[in-house]
């Protein structure tokens, strides 16, 4: 992939209307709709402020959640959930949609910028078109949730053209969405000069740099529940990493593949042969592929379950692995301590439960303690973990896109990046 993309610094935006794709997919309280973390809004501020300082009028857009813009499809999905058909009215559908409005984001963005943020009640409709036409340099307009439009996720050219027609320049700064070929992340770039914002520039520079020219040894830490979701990642890392650490539920598929007993632990039996192939490939390439040597098991998936430590591959029936054991913690932390670059995606266990957080916490502390290494946290649950343990500030870089960062590590082209200059 070409990581060298033109940025907002390389284009004249003075007096121009700039369509800025942000990632305002913020977490919200399910009952009140209140934004529970504004980190993604804060992450967009440097690019927004730069554009305003350069004399641009900013038309920001983003998705939020996964609304269903088609009423009939919404009804079908709700029916599959055994919802009462009598309650599946257009009014009920509309109410569900409104829960994912970007209006609260507009209010928070205004507070952070210290200026008014005009909000459009639609994306490319009459309100958006009128407000975009009247927008002056130095002003900010936020469009409604792009996924309220049927053409967004389909990358519909007609919708992309309508979106582009409101501006003269397109800037993409939503790294968390660039792995999706949607109208607002990729399609619109066909109709406007298209460059990246500072957030995407930093993501490509740090992660792309770590993959292309890492400080050795490069240690990759992979956790999570499924081997199947990390196939491409493991394959690509076997070409560039010095050490790969495996944790989380996916470790039990590797254990079972080698004849181990995994009890009631997470297991993808269909991927055991693949796991053995990866072990052989690692051996052939001289890559250290580290697996747990012991594990913390429990007799139920519960924070109050009975637990004990056993050797890997010796989990009895009725028990399941929920964390790495103390010997594995030492093995993994020693590998991290010697690293020149660390890329981490996925927890070592069920860190959300205090009884089974130790492995993830210990590895996080080891990563944070290695001040000589470039430490990159690749989004998702890994970010949640370092935040939980108050270690985020100790890491070199925390990615804003879990899926996008992993596809970048996997070596996949990112549609929203490929579309840029």
* Residue numbers annotated as active site: 40, 226, 380, 403
Q: Which of 373, 328, 368 is nearest to 217 (CA)?
A: 373
Phi, then psi, of 318 in degrees rounded to 5? 90, -5
Tokens in use for 301? 């998936």
Question: Looking up tokens 């490319």, which residue turns up?
Answer: 124
The answer for residues whose C-beta is within 8 angstroms of residue 114's C-beta and 6 or more apart is none
Cα 293 to Cα 150: distance, rounded to the nearest angstrom = 50
Residue 133 has a CB neighbour count (10 Å cut-off) of 9
Task: Determine the 3-state secondary structure of 117 from DSSP.
Answer: strand
Residue 228 has a CB neighbour count (10 Å cut-off) of 12
Beta strand 341-345 with 288-290 is unpaired
Q: Which of 276, 289, 204, 176 is nearest to 238 (CA)?
A: 289
Tokens in use for 334? 């020693």
> What are the CA-CA distances from residue 291 to residues 136, 249, 259 (Å)?
58, 12, 14
- Report CA Rg, the chain: 23
Helices (H), 192-296: 198-203, 209-212, 231-240, 251-257, 272-285
Query: Is the bond leading into 300 cis (omega within 30 degrees of zero)?
Result: no
């Amino acid at each position: 992939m070409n990581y060298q993309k033109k940025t907002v610094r390389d284009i004249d935006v003075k007096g121009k209307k700039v369509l800025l794709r942000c990632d305002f997919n913020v977490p919200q309280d399910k009952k009140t709709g209140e934004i529970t973390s504004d980190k993604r809004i804060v992450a967009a501020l440097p690019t927004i402020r730069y554009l305003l300082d350069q004399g641009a009028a900013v038309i920001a857009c983003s998705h939020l959640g996964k609304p269903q813009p088609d009423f009939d499809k919404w009804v079908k999905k709700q029916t599959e959930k055994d919802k009462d058909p009598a309650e599946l009215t257009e009014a009920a559908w509309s109410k569900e949609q409104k829960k994912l409005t970007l209006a609260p984001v507009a209010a928070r963005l205004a507070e952070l910028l210290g200026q008014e943020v005009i909000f459009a009640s639609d994306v490319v409709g009459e309100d958006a078109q009128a407000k975009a036409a009247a927008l002056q340099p130095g002003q900010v307009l936020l469009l409604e949730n792009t996924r309220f439009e049927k053409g967004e996720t389909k990358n519909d050219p007609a919708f992309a053209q309508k979106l582009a027609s409101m501006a003269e320049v397109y800037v993409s700064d939503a790294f968390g969405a660039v792995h999706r070929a949607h109208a607002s992340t990729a399609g619109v770039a066909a109709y406007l000069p298209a460059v990246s914002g500072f957030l995407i520039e930093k993501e490509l520079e740090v992660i792309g740099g770590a993959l292309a020219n890492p400080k050795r040894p490069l240690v990759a830490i992979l956790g999570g529940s499924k081997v199947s979701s990390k196939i491409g990642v493991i394959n690509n890392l076997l070409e560039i990493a010095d050490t790969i650490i495996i944790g989380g539920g996916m470790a039990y598929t590797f254990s079972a593949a080698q004849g181990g007993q995994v009890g009631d632990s997470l297991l993808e039996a269909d991927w055991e042969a693949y796991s053995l192939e990866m072990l052989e490939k690692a051996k052939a390439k001289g890559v250290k592929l580290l697996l747990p040597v012991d594990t913390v098991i429990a007799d139920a998936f519960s924070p109050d379950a009975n637990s004990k430590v056993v050797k890997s591959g010796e989990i009895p029936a009725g028990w399941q692995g929920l964390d790495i054991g103390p010997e594995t913690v030492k093995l993994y932390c020693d590998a991290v301590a010697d690293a020149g670059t660390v890329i981490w995606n996925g927890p070592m266990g069920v860190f959300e439960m205090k009884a089974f957080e130790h492995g993830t916490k210990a590895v996080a502390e080891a990563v944070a303690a290695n001040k000589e290494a470039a430490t990159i946290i690749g989004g998702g649950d890994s970010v949640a973990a370092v935040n939980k343990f108050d270690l985020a500030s100790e890491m070199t870089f925390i990615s804003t896109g879990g899926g996008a960062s992993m596809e970048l590590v996997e070596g996949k082209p990112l549609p929203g990046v490929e579309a840029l200059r």
